[in-house]
């Protein structure tokens, strides 16, 4: 990111796998950049990003110095779909690769796998005839009541 010197880094607000909403905030913290989350409107002018975001009580507007990190809300814009000519243009652009060490990143594994084991197989369930029988089993066998 230091080489590209972006003025604005825009990310989605959630990941498709866990909806944790942490990537934008983590990037801002690691880079020391100001951030705005859940942007529904974004205006860039005079070296500042003005972000409107929805909050519980309505909306609020923030003004950030750039460079900044902004996470978006689905109302920010309508998605555009890639066209065949743009795919062809993208294929012709040079792609540079950088090794992690050149960026000062240590990728040495920090976790050690001690053991992998399957969980114990569950026994078959028990059918009870009525609520009284269920309560009796919970008291006498499971000892949860």
SS3 52: strand
Phi-psi region of 143 (alpha: psi -120 to 50; beta: other; left: phi over 0): left
Strands 68-72 and 35-45: parallel
H or E element in which residue 29 lies: helix 23-31
The helices-and-strands tally (H runs, E runs) of the chain is 3, 5
* CB hemisphere CA count around 45 (13 angstroms): 4
The full set of domain ranges for the chain reads 1-78
Phi-psi region of 87 (alpha: psi -120 to 50; beta: other; left: phi over 0): alpha
Does the predicted model carry a pTM greater than 0.75?
no
Please provide the average confidence, as pLDDT, over all residues in the chain: 89
Q: Could you give the CA distance from residue 39 to residue 75 in angstroms, rounded to a whole number?
A: 8
Strands 58-65 and 48-55: antiparallel
- Stretch 84-109: mean pLDDT: 91
- Stretch 30-42: mean pLDDT: 92
Eight-class DSSP state of 3: T
Q: What is the pLDDT of residue 138?
A: 92
Residue 107 binned pLDDT confidence (cut-offs 50, 70, 90): very high
In the predicted structure, residue 60 carries a pLDDT above the cut 90 = yes
CB distance 51 to 36 below 8 Å:
yes
| CATH for 1-78 (3.40.718.10, 3.40.50.720, 3.40.50.620, 3.50.50.60) | 3.40.50.620
């Amino acid at each position: 990111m230091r080489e590209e010197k972006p003025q604005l880094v825009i990310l989605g607000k959630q990941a498709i796998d866990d909806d944790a909403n942490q990537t934008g905030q983590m990037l801002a913290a690691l880079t020391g950049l100001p951030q705005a989350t859940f942007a529904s409107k974004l205006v860039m002018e005079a070296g500042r990003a003005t972000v409107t975001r929805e909050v519980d009580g309505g909306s609020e507007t923030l003004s950030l110095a750039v460079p900044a990190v902004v996470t978006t809300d689905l109302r920010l814009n309508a998605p555009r779909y890639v066209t065949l000519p743009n795919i062809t243009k993208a294929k012709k652009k040079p792609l540079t690769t950088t090794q992690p060490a050149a960026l000062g990143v240590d990728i040495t594994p920090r976790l050690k796998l001690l053991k992998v084991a399957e969980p114990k197989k569950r026994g078959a369930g028990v059918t009870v005839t009525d609520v009284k029988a269920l309560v009796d089993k919970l008291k006498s066998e499971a000892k949860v009541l």
